[in-house]
């Protein structure tokens, strides 16, 4: 069975909701990253045999967003492309599917990743096709309905952040402290240039600034503090702990990786960033989604013959700080290996992109710190979670 390796990875800087990247389609951001990932791998576009891209908010984007990104990146029109919607883990699920294809001997080299513009999610009117006879009608926000809504329990995902806090005894102080640490770690990483290698600049135009390169994550707050977060009121429950300050940020961005067989890498003299050791998916009740990374990570570590003591860096998507606290505590993840350059509370969470973004950040952190084994995990709306373990080469 062929072994899958990752030979390149990149991402855009993450834009805040309605800010710098809001004028760009997610498929264009995806195309930029796919093209850059191919370039960084020292490959030709013709070496890519299939393109798999995650995208959650697909309404209004047109047919097969992954195909749009592939063509936009200059990949051959002859190859296949398909779009994955595994909610927040879409970008990582794309890499898992690529590894499956390589193991099966179907393909040798694939472009994968994820893309999202939450700023451009449309509003829809259900029932408008056949007309309304009378009474007021509701305009539905696709960003919330398709990306941030627990469809099984008819509630905003924020309530699941409260549920995990209650089940795992996470306090408001716990959640705020993790959030402050996320911002401060991200701010230091940004200041020290830790993100520079993973980011591909997006060229933008401003009436005052003219043309400029957008290459810094936009949501990081270097002045975040317990005092400032403590002033924020709970959003979803009167006596709850989830606030705007300890939740991930609505964002825009894209990321891409090149996944190939070890044989292909050797034949093309490519130096892998990491080998894919093990991956998998597990589920819980939809309302308990935030704890799903716990069984998913346990499952994948067991497949790899590892325990948490074997993991050098642990990346968990900070959908809500309460969830990260629960995952970190239950799996006994040491502080010094957890989201070492900050997480989604600081960087943002462009949902279809985040799986690939988290893995990309992990890969570069492993290189920077000269560590060997990394684990990335994300919960997915509906109660699932994906986890992947990689080993730096």
Classify 332 as helix, strand or coil.
coil
Q: Which of 141, 119, 142 is nearest to 21 (CA)?
A: 119
Element (H, E) at 357: helix 351-369
Active site residue 379: yes
Beta-strand runs (E) in 286-349: 313-316
Integer Cα distance of 50 and 102 in angstroms: 11
Integer Cα distance of 270 and 7 in angstroms: 7
Neighbour count for residue 232 (Cβ, 10 Å) = 15
Return all residues near 139 (Cβ < 8 A) that are at least 6 apart. 123, 124, 125
Active site residue 33: no
Answer whether 315's CB lies under 8 Å from 343's CB: yes
Integer Cα distance of 343 and 88 in angstroms: 14
Integer Cα distance of 255 and 325 in angstroms: 26
Q: Which of 211, 200, 168, 232 is nearest to 8 (CA)?
A: 200
Integer Cα distance of 175 and 170 in angstroms: 7
Which residues make beta-bridge pairs with 15?
252
Q: Which of 364, 373, 377 is nearest to 194 (CA)?
A: 364
Active site residue 88: yes
Answer whether 33's CB lies under 8 Å from 256's CB: yes
Integer Cα distance of 117 and 27 in angstroms: 9
Of 109, 183, 349, 353, which residue is the catalytic one? 349
Of 33, 88, 325, 353, which residue is the catalytic one? 88
Catalytic residues: 88, 349, 379
């Amino acid at each position: 069975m062929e072994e899958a390796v990752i030979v390149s990875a990149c991402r855009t800087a993450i834009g805040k909701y309605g800010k710098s990247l809001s004028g760009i389609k997610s498929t264009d951001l995806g195309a930029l990253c796919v093209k850059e990932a191919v370039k960084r791998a020292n490959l030709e576009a013709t070496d890519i045999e299939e393109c798999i891209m995650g995208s959650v908010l697909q309404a209004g984007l047109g047919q097969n967003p992954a195909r749009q990104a592939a063509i936009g990146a200059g990949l051959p029109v002859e190859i296949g492309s398909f779009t994955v919607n595994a909610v927040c883990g879409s970008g990582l699920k794309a890499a898992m599917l690529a590894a499956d294809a390589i193991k099966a001997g179907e393909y040798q080299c694939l472009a994968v990743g994820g893309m999202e513009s939450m700023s451009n999610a449309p509003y829809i009117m259900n029932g408008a096709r056949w007309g309304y006879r009378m009474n007021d009608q509701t305009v539905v926000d696709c960003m919330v309905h398709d990306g941030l809504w627990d469809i099984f329990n008819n509630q905003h995902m924020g309530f699941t952040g409260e549920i995990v806090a209650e089940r795992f005894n996470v306090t408001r102080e716990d959640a705020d402290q993790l959030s402050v640490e996320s911002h401060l770690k991200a701010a230091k990483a940004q200041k020290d240039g830790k993100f520079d290698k993973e980011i591909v600049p997006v060229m933008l135009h401003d009436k005052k600034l003219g043309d400029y390169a957008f290459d810094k994550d936009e949501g990081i707050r270097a002045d975040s503090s317990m005092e400032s977060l403590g002033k924020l009121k709970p959003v979803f429950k009167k006596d709850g702990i989830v606030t705007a300050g300890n939740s991930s940020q609505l964002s825009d961005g894209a990321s891409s990786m090149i996944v190939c067989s070890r044989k292909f890498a050797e034949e093309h003299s490519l130096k892998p960033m990491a080998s894919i050791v093990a991956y998998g998916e597990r589920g819980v009740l939809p309302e308990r989604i935030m704890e799903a990374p716990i069984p998913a990570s346990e499952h994948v570590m067991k497949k790899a013959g590892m325990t948490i003591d074997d993991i050098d860096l642990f990346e968990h998507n900070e959908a809500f700080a309460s969830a990260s606290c629960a995952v970190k505590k239950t799996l006994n993840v040491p502080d010094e290996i957890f989201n070492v350059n900050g997480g989604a509370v600081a960087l943002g969470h462009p949902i279809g992109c985040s799986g690939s973004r988290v893995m990309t950040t992990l890969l570069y952190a492993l290189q920077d710190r000269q560590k060997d084994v990394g684990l990335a995990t994300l919960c997915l709306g509906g109660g699932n979670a994906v986890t992947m373990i990689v080993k730096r080469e």
